[in-house]
Amino acid sequence: MSGLSKSYLLNGDIKAGLMKLALPLMVLNLVNSLYNIVDTFWVGRMGELQVGAVALIGPIMGCGSALVVGLSAAGISMISKALGSSDPEKANEYATHLLVIAMVFGIVIGAGCLLFSSLILDWLQTPADIYQDASAYLFGISFDFLFLFVLNIFQTIRQADGDGRSAVVFNAIAAILNTILDPFFIFTLHMGVLGAAVATVLSKVLVMPFVFYILFHDHDHVVCSFKSKMKWQVFKELIFVGIPASLAQFLSSFGFVLMNKSIVGYGSIAISAYGLGNKVTDLYYIPVNAFGGALAPFIGQNIGAGNRERAKECFKQAMILTAICSAIVMIIGLFASRYLVLLFVSDASNELMNMTLEYCFYVVVTIFFMGWFQNIHGVFSGAGKTRLILILSTFRLWGLRIPMIYLFYYFTNLGPAGIWWAMVISNFITCLAGQFFYQQYSWLKNEQKEG
């Protein structure tokens, strides 16, 4: 690990250090969002229903990607702790095993989506007017899992080492390629929504040789190596720490699948509005959520080095930065949402516009709660307390949000607004619960496994 990255994580001004790591994460998350933004932009040129078809598949991808989210949480915690305790060889070992697990499961999950695509769409009760497009997009995007997993693990390894720039570069290159390839496959080759999926996959494939070269040859940072034997104990350790976060992400994504299923009852335009609203609000979340991502390696390395008081101060400073950022984003979001909707779907109907703007309003006025939740997530992730992440995520979705959605659906006349209210209330209550867990300071124990 470079001396520079270790110095700002363990010493110096915390607020400046958080900004140093958060800014590249903001750029990286914006670049990652460009895949969906570009797809939505070009698919939106085909029509409102095609936007709904792609939106319906998003949470399915989230369910499939749940494993790599857990692996990333485990990787950041364990690699950063190893580096914080001055054990770079152990960090390299963790990185290698992470990469192997990600590649194996990327192949398995992609194959599963291909085999069971019809069953998935039938279970979702996909409307007939978007079924063909949804099926085509799911088929194409199933090939993306392997390359998506590798890029995520690359980001995790570099982030744990204090390097927020490398992942930005490669994701930016892939996003630019996707921007070029999308209209070519969608319109020039007349592939429709399938072309959007193919462009996304191919853009990642083209950067893979460079990603693997850096993973195995950049010895100034954590590197992967197959010179040593794979150790089953290391696999178990990573999986043990990662499973709770993976399960939390799966339950969260599956909850969004059920939300999509409930939105189907309001019609195809409602699905499009929800999908379009997510694309707009994802942009607002990027700066607010970045501090939680930056916080994880700060927490991990400072706990690994025994700097518990500095770890607590890191959380405090992250909350201050999040509050300032949330206020700025809220003001911008209240004025910009309409123009962003028109950017994606220039001929949006009044029904689509009004429903999408209503969703965006609920998000921007309560966006601080999402940033707060992400900071708590960053603390527990960095400390390796992934069971607490599972508890909070499960409580937010299955204890609060899903029950409220169905209560509002069957016992009120709120319509789709009932879904937006359920999201707001569940976020706020979960933040209070997460803050309660944080105040117990159980996460300060210097250990790599859940205790």
pLDDT in tens, 106-129: 999 999 999 999 999 998 888 888
Question: Which of 50-59, 207-216, 308-317 has maximum average pLDDT?
Answer: 207-216
Decide which of 342 and 36 is more confident: 342
Query: Which pLDDT does position 2 carry in this prediction?
Result: 44
Q: What percent of the chain has pLDDT over 90?
A: 33
Residue 450 pLDDT exceeds 70: no
Average pLDDT over residues 323-333: 95
Decide which of 213 and 257 is more confident: 213
pLDDT in tens, 16-32: 888 888 888 888 788 77
d(CA 49, CA 7): 51
Burial 97-117 (b: 16+ CB within 10 A, else e): bbbbbbeebbeebbeebeeeb
pTM of the predicted structure, to 2 decimals: 0.70
